[in-house]
Amino acid sequence: MFQDITVEDLMKLRQKGELTTIDVRSPSEYLDSTIPGSLNIPLFSDAERAEIGTLYKQVSIEAAKKRGLEIVSAKLPAFVQQFADISGKKALFCWRGGMRSRTTATVLSLMDIHVYRLAGGYRAYRKWVVEQLETMVFTPRAVVLHGNTGTGKTAILKRLKQDGFPVLDLESMAGHRGSIFGEIGLKAHNQRTFDSLLMDELLTLRRERHVIFEAESRRIGKIVLPELITEKRKNAVNVLIELPVEERVRQIILNYEPWKHHEACLKSFQQIKSRIHTPIAMEIELCLKQEKYEPAVEMLLKHYYDPRYGHAATQNEFTPDFVIQAQNVDEAYEAVKRIVENLKA
C-alpha cells in the first residue's frame, strides 16, 4: 500500500536528493505552478479534466466517477509504465491529495510500484511555503549589488553562482529583468512559482555566512518580494558597480537581443514614452523602428533609466561599502569576487 507523507517529510527527502516528485495534475495546472523539479504525469489531460468537471457539476458525482474510470482504464498500461521507468524513491501529488493522487497511488501499489503520496497535495505545499517565507529565520548576511541599468549585475551573479558562491538570482526566479522591457524573451513566473523557487534556494543557502543578490525594487514583473528578502538589505554589505556608458549599452544589447524581439521592444517603449521629454522620445522611437538599437539604448539610459535609478537610490538612502569602477563586466566580476572572498576569510 502507498504511504502518505507530510510536506515537511517531503522537503527533507528532497533536500537529501533522494526523491523524484511527480505532479499528476493536468498539464495546465502543472505549468501554472508546481513543486520545483517535479515531473508531470497527468492522470487526466486538460480536456478530460474539463469534461469530468462538467459532469460533476451538471449531472452527478457518480457520472463523473464513471467517466473518469473509463478514461483512466484506456490509458492505464502506458500511465503505469511511466512511473515504473523512474528509478529511486517517488512521491506524487495532485491539487489537495484527493481522487487523482489516491487513484494513482492505489493502482501503482497494486502493480508493486511503491510511491509516497503528499498529504494535502499541492495546496498543502503552497500553504507551507507561504508560512515558511513569513516565519523563517534566514541568518546569512546579504551582499547586495547596486548599479545603474546595464552594469552587468545579473551576469556577475550568474558567474558567481557557477563558481560556487551563495547567490540568490531573484530576476531568474521571477522570469523577469525588473524593468518595462524586462519580460522580453522570457517567461514571467507567477508569485506561486517564484515563492517555491526562492524557498528551495533559501533552504540550500541557510547555513552560509553570506548570500549575494541584486538590489531590486519590491516588485519584479508579476511578483512581490517577501519581507524576508527586503529586510536582509537593512544590514547588508552594499557594493556599487559603475561601468562606462558604452559598456552598459553593449551589455544590454547582449542580454536583450532586441533584433529578435523588435515588435516587443516597440510595444514596451510605448509604456514609458510619455515619461520622456517629447523630442527625445520621438528620437528613441525612430531609432527603435529603424533597428538602430545602440543609440536608442544610450538615450534610454541617459533620459530615463539613470535619472530613475538616482531617485531610487536617494529614496533607499543606502551608503555603498565598496565602489567598483570597472571598464567592463569581467573586471567588475573579479572585483566583486575579491570582496566576497575577503568577507568569507
Q: 60-75: per-residue pLDDT in tens?
A: 988 988 998 888 888 8
Q: How far apart are CA 288 and CA 282, in angstroms?
A: 10
Q: Helix H segments across the chain?
A: 7-15, 27-32, 46-58, 61-84, 99-110, 121-135, 153-162, 170-174, 191-205, 227-232, 245-256, 262-272, 278-289, 293-300, 306-316, 329-344
Cell of 241: 558597480
Q: What percentage of residues in the chain have a pLDDT greater than 70?
A: 98
pLDDT at 217: 87
Q: What's the average pLDDT block by block, 10 residues per block, for the chain (345 residues)?
A: 92 90 97 97 94 90 88 90 95 92 93 95 98 95 95 95 96 92 91 97 95 94 94 93 96 94 95 94 96 96 89 69 96 96 83
Q: How far apart are CA 169 and CA 71, in angstroms?
A: 42
In the three-class reduction of DSSP (H, G, I as helix; E, B as strand; rest coil), residue 318 is classed as: coil
Cα–Cα distance list, 155 to 50, 148, 151 (Å): 43, 14, 9
Give residue for cell 534566514.
138
Cβ 37 vs Cβ 98: under 8 Å: no
Q: What is the pLDDT of residues 151-199, one digit of tens each?
A: 999 999 999 999 999 999 999 999 999 888 989 999 899 999 999 999 9
